[in-house]
Amino acid sequence: MSDSLAWDSRYAAQPWMFGQAPNRYLESLAPRLPAHGRALALGDGEGRNGVWLARRGLAVTAVDWSATGMARAAEWAAASGVAMTTETADLTRWSWPEGHFGVVAWIFLHLPPEDRAAVVAGALRALAPGGLLVLECFSPAQQGRRSGGPRDPALLWTRPLAEAAFAPLEMLECLEGTVCLDEGPKHQGQAEILRGLWRKPA
């Protein structure tokens, strides 16, 4: 079974496994996010971050390779009357627009190193000048905790990794440490994360 089908099965078995509220870090950045323009939600699953960004007035593109997740996200966005386009696609093969998005949200999308490099390159390309990239992912210290995240340590994020990946951007903040997650049944309890905010030079 391909990984996208595995995610389809997970979303089919347990709807809203990461909840319907946005990621708390993304939400906390509300005062610093633009009120208008375009946003891209990477690996948006069932759409919780994309729908939140769209409710704030942004025209959102949500991309995920799970057709089940994206179908649920599209239905939710339509029922909420917000501007969100959903695309079922593998981000390592997506055709990234250039200089297009004022916000790119990379929330709990964990990829093998080669795929991560391809998606980093795509995200850097897709950001508009002055655009913001928001990242929250698990760090290696999460291994062994039951509050979520992949088992393969190669998929986890460290601060040096994030600094190198987003070196062409201006780092506004970057923190690695312990938080208390309360984001749906699959992200509950103390967790070790890496989070940060970067801006593409204008």
Site residues (vs ligand SAM, CB under 6 A)? 7, 18, 23, 43-45, 48-49, 64-66, 69, 90-92, 107-109, 111, 115
β-pair type (188-199, 127-138):
antiparallel
Quick one: which H or E segment has residue 67?
helix 67-80
Output 14 or 201, the one with its CB closest to ligand SAM: 14
Beta carbon nearer to ligand SAM, 114 or 170: 114
Question: Is 170 or 182 the residue whose CB approaches ligand SAM more closely?
Answer: 182
Report the nearest approach of ligand SAM to the CB of residue 202 (Å): 27
Min dist. Cβ of residue 65 to ligand SAM (A): 4
Q: How far is the CB of 66 from ligand SAM (least distance, A)?
A: 4
Q: Which is closer to ligand SAM, CB of 176 or CB of 183? A: 183
Which of 69, 88, 82 has the alpha carbon at shortest distance from 12?
Answer: 69
In whole angstroms, give the CA distance from residue 190 to residue 87: 32
Nearer to ligand SAM, 43 or 131 (CB): 43
Report the C-alpha gap between 193 and 181 in whole angstroms: 10
Q: Which is nearer to ligand SAM, 101 or 108 (CB)?
A: 108
Beta partners for 41? 62, 105
Cα distance between residue 152 and residue 110, in whole Å: 10
Instruction: Count other Cβ atoms within 10 Å, centred on residue 105.
Output: 30
Q: What is the dihedral of CA 23, 143, 161, 18, to 10 degrees?
A: -20
CB 49, min distance to ligand SAM, A:
6
To the nearest whole angstrom, how small is the minimum distance from the Cβ of residue 119 to ligand SAM? 7
Instruction: For the beta carbon of residue 79, count every other beta carbon within 10 angstroms.
Output: 9
CB of 199 to ligand SAM, least distance (A): 21
Contact indicator for 32, 199 with CB cutoff of 8 Å = no
